[in-house]
Amino acid sequence: MTAEPTRHLPFADNAAVRFVDTCLRGASQVFFQNNPITGLFLLAGIFWGSATAGTIPVAIGAVLGVMVGTLAAMLLGSDETALRKGMFGFNPILVGIAVPTFLGGQHPLVWLYLVIGAAAAHVVMLAASRALERYGVAASTGPFVITTWILMLAASSFAQVSPVSLAMPVLPHAIDGAVAHATITPLFLLQALFRNISQVFLVNNAIAGLLFVIGIAASSIRAALFAVVGSAVAMAIALLFGADAHAIANGLYGFSPVLTAIGVGCVFLRPSWKVTLYALFATVVTVIVQGGMNILVEPFGIPTLTMPFVLTMWLFTFPKMDLQPRSPHDNAAMDDGQAALST
Amino acid sequence: MTAEPTRHLPFADNAAVRFVDTCLRGASQVFFQNNPITGLFLLAGIFWGSATAGTIPVAIGAVLGVMVGTLAAMLLGSDETALRKGMFGFNPILVGIAVPTFLGGQHPLVWLYLVIGAAAAHVVMLAASRALERYGVAASTGPFVITTWILMLAASSFAQVSPVSLAMPVLPHAIDGAVAHATITPLFLLQALFRNISQVFLVNNAIAGLLFVIGIAASSIRAALFAVVGSAVAMAIALLFGADAHAIANGLYGFSPVLTAIGVGCVFLRPSWKVTLYALFATVVTVIVQGGMNILVEPFGIPTLTMPFVLTMWLFTFPKMDLQPRSPHDNAAMDDGQAALST
Amino acid sequence: MTAEPTRHLPFADNAAVRFVDTCLRGASQVFFQNNPITGLFLLAGIFWGSATAGTIPVAIGAVLGVMVGTLAAMLLGSDETALRKGMFGFNPILVGIAVPTFLGGQHPLVWLYLVIGAAAAHVVMLAASRALERYGVAASTGPFVITTWILMLAASSFAQVSPVSLAMPVLPHAIDGAVAHATITPLFLLQALFRNISQVFLVNNAIAGLLFVIGIAASSIRAALFAVVGSAVAMAIALLFGADAHAIANGLYGFSPVLTAIGVGCVFLRPSWKVTLYALFATVVTVIVQGGMNILVEPFGIPTLTMPFVLTMWLFTFPKMDLQPRSPHDNAAMDDGQAALST
């Protein structure tokens, strides 16, 4: 949600420029923004993260994913207004990042797998949006999670696209107290604070997280603030209850709560003090949901992705409460947000 | 559903008395009643069960849970009429019982965990009710199950709130014929008959079950009858198909069918002979669903809780059938029931 | 969907003939047809398959299942028009096939289990139809899958109905490259082409598959064409990505995609070239969903059944797109299809 009017890149009546602009907005919608500048910063962070980690195929996958998703929307004649806001890019870009992250980028069939997955994610987005639109609830990154879960599970069934960096399926066991004892240094806290944000795009890199925050702030200072505060709250709760310190340090307890903080705090509900408190409570709950889903996925060897955010956000925006007045002619507050999608 | 008008405790215009009255009704709504006397009997049974088992924190958790849930509803400005009927107490009270039952009551953070869980259960209740209200289907104890499942799974991720009495995650295997061979004595049958009812509150105690039946009867003789008949039917079916005799004896095959019998038989549908037969069939099906969910949860080490009831009740009350005429101006039969909730 | 007017068997005003006619249409609706001749061919294929495999109880289960489902619908006063189209027979017939297939037919209680399951499947069908009707999406074989999953899981809890041919629950592991190397012979391809179709009824027999195609063609040439093309596409994709060659040969990667091809290609959407391409993409996606669900069910030891089709079909028919114009007075194209069900 931005206060300023929608910005367009120069030469936006050129079809190619419009396509690039739409793809950049698609990237920015992962953080609920509709802003190509934000998208540029996010892509910069993704490239920085993948270059330093030696996983360039991940950045290429991101670009390919958002292009496939946008093309799929154009081919299917999906809603033009939603398309131009980037609503059909943010799930495919995440699919495009996840496929090479977990399956590697060596085998050519992995790239066909990515294209099928990114296009399918658009169909899942249309389906989820239609199911949820009557409730005024956003599908958000739910379609990315469902599509990627299927792709990751299926990778174990197909010899040509087998997993290279997924966990082995195991029966869950309670955390060993020792792994929860972190030596909390200022560096630990600072790194986790920004990795919580970079991990939204599956990037484990504090510099990338900083680029993301700058990108979000370019579109909405308030959203950037909620991102950082949500990250800090998530870290505090995870440390308090004694989660795996290694996971905390790598941002794995924070990327979903960060999205909850922004989404519930300043996108899907009309901002107020009461909503801010409600969003902080939702952020705390997301940390516990993250802990629960970590256990739930263990027998399948798949990552939780952003499902803890999606589930918590759905639960906290489904109720029709006084603190979120929402009548048909009264949703100006989320005009640019994902909730405005009507396909 | 009660035929008599809603009763209030004396001095109900005193805020404290009204709060206690609301909490007691919250307890009674676990059995679909809106009656503080029923709530008193239920609390008495819970205290008796936890005192004899040496698990007093469980009873304290019950009281704390229902208070947190009621307070959360007041803070969020949730529907006043529903609140006063106890609709926002029955999920949190069950969360309050489950947390110390499975995580113990030693560590102070367990109590913070309980408070977060009970408040979250209220949000889940609002979300589930909104999703289901257009179908005239009740959320019932679904929010309790979802919230508690997440809390129990997450407990394995957090060193400060680790499980003390959850099963170890295992891969399922078919029942060994030997454990199905029970020596059926009259005492076996009598104990199971009432433990099927006490286990609705996770209490394994026939005396508590008897107190529960008396409490239900104080509000609705018909509901008490359906509880006892449902319990007997569940026991018969579980014995017939050869379920684990130890589990049957402890009421673990009966608590969900008991709720199905009452809910489908005399709360959510307009009572008739046809509905009674339909409810008995639903009760039989619930025993099978219980058997299925026992297997489904084994790799995760979590209990089924009342999900077999919730799932079966949803399936049996979702259809719009001649045996359940329900038009907008025609739902007097469920005026006090959970289906009447509109948030 | 048939172009010709609904055919009735001669003497259709005789109650017994009408009952048989309804049951045969119930069988034919598994392939989205409303045609007793199709039903006869399908039953012939089922009897042929079970006779050659020495599993006659499976064919008896089919007949019993469809009769129980039809009777349940009559007893519950379910919608007469839908009943006569066979809409309440196709889920119970599949339950009736699955129970003796996986639990054997020796123990008398297995047959009671089958009857309870087939009747319950009707209730699940009513529930799913009501939940989906406002979206114009068909429940299709979803109720069969949900009911049978519960029955199969529960079989491990009950000593009298224990599984005889379900897989052992295991933790998933990635496919060994070796099992993906099939020697592709013309016989391999031809067998798989028809087993993909016979496996819709859990029959592993190419002759049965051929009988099924003839039966479908008797009602709709177009549907038969989509079945065969869908089968070929599924085989190609499964071979391309390197799925287990043994599973491909036995039709296990094709039965769900075949249903997707018919359902999306010529039943639920208004046929056009665009819809044909969309359906082919959906068919490809179904193969991946099949690969994913194969992994997901491994820790529980249950088969995927037709869930890959159901899930994909739901995702691809939920969106409201220009390629599927559907207004209240504009659904002639699916008049005979499952989407027309309104209970």
Q: Could you report the per-residue pLDDT of A57-69, keeping only the tens digit for each? A: 999 999 999 999 9
pLDDT in tens, C138-169: 999 999 999 999 999 999 999 999 999 999 99
CB B188 within 8 A of CB B172: no
Enumerate domains of chain B plus CATH numbers: 15-340 (1.10.3430.10)
Of the CA atoms within 13 Å of residue C53, those in its CB half-sphere come to: 20
What is the rounded average pLDDT of the residues A146-152?
Answer: 98
Of B157, B162, B163, the CB nearest to A294: B157
* Among candidates A171, A243, A319 on the partner chain, residue whose Cβ is nearest the Cβ of B126: A319
Which residues of chain B are within 8 Å of residue C123 when distances are taken between CB atoms?
A: 285, 315-316, 319
Mutation pick from B133, B287, B307, B315 vs chain C, by most beta carbons of C within 10 Å, is B315
pLDDT at A4: 45
- Between CA C317 and CA C199 the distance in angstroms is 23
Mutation for C interface: B134, B286, B318, most C CBs within 10 A: B318
CB pairs under 8 A between A and C: 119
Q: With 70 as the cut, is the pLDDT of residue A224 above it?
A: yes
pLDDT at A324 over 70: no
Chain A residues close to B117, C-beta within 8 Å: 288
Sequential pLDDT tens for chain B (343 residues): 344 445 555 666 789 999 999 999 999 999 999 999 999 999 999 999 999 999 999 999 999 999 999 999 999 988 999 999 999 999 999 999 999 999 998 899 999 999 999 999 999 999 999 999 989 999 999 999 999 999 999 999 999 999 999 999 999 999 987 776 767 888 889 999 999 999 999 999 999 999 999 999 999 999 999 999 999 999 999 999 999 999 999 999 999 999 999 999 999 998 899 999 999 999 999 999 999 999 999 999 999 999 999 999 999 999 966 554 333 333 333 334 444 333 2
Written as one letter, the residue type at C65 is G
Minimal Cα–Cα distance from B145 to chain A, Å? 13
ipTM, two decimals, is: 0.91
Whose tokens are 């069960």? That residue is B49
Indicate if the pLDDT at residue A192 is higher than 80: yes
- Show which subunits contact C, needing at least 3 CB pairs below 8 angstroms: A, B
Selection from C124, C143, C136, C141 nearest residue C268 by Cα? C136
d(CA B194, CA B255): 9
A241/B109 Cβ within 8 A: yes
Asked if residue B55 lies in contact with residue B121, where contact means CB atoms within 8 angstroms, the answer is no
Residue C58: closest CA among C23, C90, C96: C96
| CB within 8 Å of C120: residues ≥ 6 apart | B285, B288, B315, C147
Q: Give the neighbours of chain B: at least 3 Cβ pairs within 8 Å.
A: A, C
pLDDT at C92: 98
Residue A164 per-residue DSSP state: S
Cβ–Cβ below 8 Å for A156 and C172: yes
CA-based nearest distance C99→chain B, Å: 14
- Predicted confidence at residue B322, as pLDDT, reads 52
Three-state SS letters, C68-98: HHHHHHHHCCCCHHHHHCCCCCHHHHHHHHH
Q: Phi and psi at residue B221, in whole multiples of 5°?
A: -60, -40
Alpha-carbon distance A172 to nearest alpha carbon in chain B (angstroms): 6
Nearest Cα of chain C lies from the Cα of B35 at a distance, in angstroms, of: 31
Interface test with C, best of A78, A144, A150, A165 (most C CBs within 10 A): A150
CA distance B217 to chain A (A): 34
Tell me which of B171, B264, B323 to substitute to probe the interface with C (most C C-beta atoms closer than 10 Å): B171
Amino acid at B18: R
Residue C49: both structure tokens together: 């398959």
pLDDT of residue C328: 36
Residues of A within 8 A of C175 (CB-CB) are 156-159, 162
Q: With the C-alpha atoms ordered C257, C259, C260, C266, is the resulting torsion angle positive or negative? A: positive
Place of tokens 């508590």: B208
d(CA C215, CA C228): 13
Q: What is the DSSP string of B36-88?
A: HHHHHHHHHHHHHHHHHTT-HHHHHHHHHHHHHHHHHHHHTT--HHHHHTTTT
Q: Mention every residue, 6+ apart, whose C-beta is less than 8 A from residue A215.
A: A28, A31, A37, A38, A39, A40, A41, A42, A44, A45
Contact criterion met (CB < 8 Å) for A157 and C175? yes
Residues of A in contact with C292 (CB under 8 A): 149-154, 157
Tens of pLDDT, residues C277-327: 999 999 999 999 999 999 999 999 999 999 999 999 999 999 966 554 333
Confidence of residue C335 (pLDDT cuts 50, 70, 90): very low
Q: Are A129 and A139 in contact (CB under 8 A)?
A: yes
Q: Which residue has the tokens 């420029």?
A: A17
Instruction: Tell me the pLDDT band of A179, cut-offs 50, 70 and 90.
Output: confident
* Torsion angle (degrees, nearest 10) of CA B137, B141, B145, B148: 140
Closest chain A CA to residue C312: A124
Judged against a pLDDT cut of 50, whether residue C63 lies above it is answered with yes
Q: For residue B160, give both structure tokens.
A: 């400060």
Asked if the Cβ–Cβ distance from C242 to A154 is below 8 Å, we say no
| Numbered residues of chain B with Cβ closer than 8 Å to any chain C Cβ | 135, 171-177, 179-180, 240-244, 278, 281, 284-285, 288-296, 299, 314-316, 318-323
Cβ-defined contact of B318 to C131 (cutoff 8 Å)? yes
Interface of C with A (CB under 8 A): 135, 171-177, 179-180, 240-244, 278, 281, 284-285, 288-296, 299, 314-316, 318-323
Nearest CA in chain C to A164: C174
Name the residue of chain A whose CA is nearest to B297's CA. Answer: A296
Among candidates B180, B284, B322 on the partner chain, residue whose Cβ is nearest the Cβ of C116:
B284
Distance CA A43, CA A215 (A): 10
What is the pLDDT at residue C176? 85
Q: Is B320 within 8 Å of C343 when comparing Cβ atoms?
A: yes
CA atoms within 13 A on the CB side of A229: 19
CA-based nearest distance A156→chain C, Å: 4
User: Min CA distance, C294 vs chain A (Å)?
Assistant: 8
Among C79, C150, C152, the residue to mutate for chain B (most B Cβ within 10 A): C150
Tell if the CB–CB gap between A299 and B299 is shorter than 8 Å: yes
Pairs of residues, one from chain B and one from chain C, whose beta carbons lie less than 8 Å apart = 119
**Residue C156 and residue B177: Cβ atoms within 8 Å?**
no
Cβ pair B244:C150 closer than 8 A: no
- Using CB atoms, which residue from B128, B160, B300 is nearest to A242? B160
d(CA C275, CA C268): 10
**Res C106: pLDDT:** 85
Mean pLDDT over each residue of chain C, to the nearest integer: 90
Residues of A in contact with C173 (CB under 8 A): 156, 168-169
Q: Cβ C169–B174 below 8 Å, yes or no?
A: no
Q: Look up residue A249 and give its two tokens.
A: 């340090």
Subunit contact A151:C288, Cβ cutoff 8 A: yes
Whether residues B294 and C120 touch (CB distance < 8 A) is answered with: no
Please list, in sequence order, all residues whose beta carbon lies within 8 angstroms of the beta carbon of residue A273, skipping any fewer than 6 positions away. none
How is B109-144 classified by DSSP, letter by letter?
HHHHHHHHHHHHHHHHHHHHHHHHHTTT---TTHHH
Distance (Å) from the alpha carbon of A282 to chain B's nearest alpha carbon: 8
- Give the chain C residue nearest A116 (alpha carbons): C285
CB within 8 Å: A153 and C320: no
Q: Do C153 and B295 touch (CB under 8 A)?
A: yes
